[in-house]
Amino acid sequence: MSLRDRKRARTRQALIDAATDLFERQGYDETTIADIAAAAEIGARTFFSYFASKEELLFPESDGRVRAAIDAIATRSPDERPADVLLRALGEINDTSEEMVSPLAALRLRLIQTVPAVRGRALQLQLDAQREIAKHLAEAFPGQLDLVRAAALTGAFVGAVSGALQALLDSADRADPAALQAAMRTATEVALTPWRRST
C-alpha cells in the first residue's frame, strides 16, 4: 500500500472505532456524524469520503465478504461442489479477518434488532450479496445449479452464518474470537450438509 492508502485505511479504521465507542456509550440515534468525525479527529465533511451514512459505517467489510465468495467460486477446483466452495470462502474470510466476530459485529447485531434504519441496511446488503453470489454460482456450475437452486443454496449459507453469529454473540463465549469462528463454521457445515450430498 502507498503512504496515501495507509493513511486512508487508518482514518477509515479510526472512524469505525470512534463510532463503535460512541454508539455503545451514547446510543445510535443520539450519536451524530459530526460526533464521530470529531472523535476521529477529522472534519464532518471528510466523513463522507469514507462512508455514505452512519448505517454504512456499521458494515465496513460487507463488500470484501462478497468478493471473497466470488473469488472462491472463480478459483474452484474441478472436483469442488458448490457448497464446498462457499465453505472454503467462509474459511478464507475467517483466516484473514476477525470482523465478523468483533465487538463491532456484536454491536451491529444489537442495533439490527433495535434500529429500523440499521435493520433495513442489513437486509439490503444481505439481499444484494445473496443475489450476486447466486448469480456467480449458477454461472460456474451450469450442470448442477440453475438460478433458483443457486439462490436457495446461497440463502441457506447466508442464513446459517447470520443465525450462527446471532446465537453465538448472545452466548457467554462471545469474547473468544477463535471459538466463535469455529462454532460458526460448524453451524454452516451442518446447514449445508444436504447441499453437499445433492450437488
Cα-flanking dihedrals φ and ψ of residue 128, to 5°? Answer: -60, -40
58: its cell numbers: 456499521
Query: Based on the domain organization, do 28 and 62 belong to the same domain?
Result: no
Among candidates 86, 60, 54, 61, which has minimal Cα distance to 72?
Answer: 86
Q: End of a domain among 52, 70, 86?
A: 52
- pLDDT for res 199: 55
Give yes or no: residues 62 and 45 share one domain: no
Q: Do 15 and 64 reside in the same domain of the chain?
A: no
Q: How confident is the model at residue 156 (pLDDT cuts 50, 70, 90)?
A: confident
Choosing from 52, 69, 88, the residue where a domain stops is: 52
End-to-end C-alpha distance for the chain, whole angstroms: 40
Q: Which residues contact 85 (CB under 8 A, 6 or more apart)?
A: 72, 73, 76, 137, 140
3-class secondary-structure state, position 47:
helix
Domain count of the fold of the chain: 2
Retrieve residue 54's grid coordinates. Answer: 452512519
Predicted local confidence at residue 172, as pLDDT: 53
Answer yes or no: do 97 and 27 share one domain.
no
- pLDDT tens per residue, range 52-111: 999 999 998 888 888 989 999 999 998 999 988 998 888 887 777 767 667 888 888 889
Give the pTM.
Answer: 0.81
Unique residue bearing C-alpha cell 465468495? 69
pLDDT of residue 158: 86
Do the beta carbons of residue 170 and residue 183 sit within 8 Å? no
Contact between residue 20 and residue 104 where contact means Cβ atoms under 8 Å apart = yes
Instruction: Report the 3 state secondary structure along 57-102.
Output: HCCCCHHHHHHHHHHHHHCCCCCCCHHHHHHHHHHHHHHHCCHHHC
Domain range for 37 is 3-52
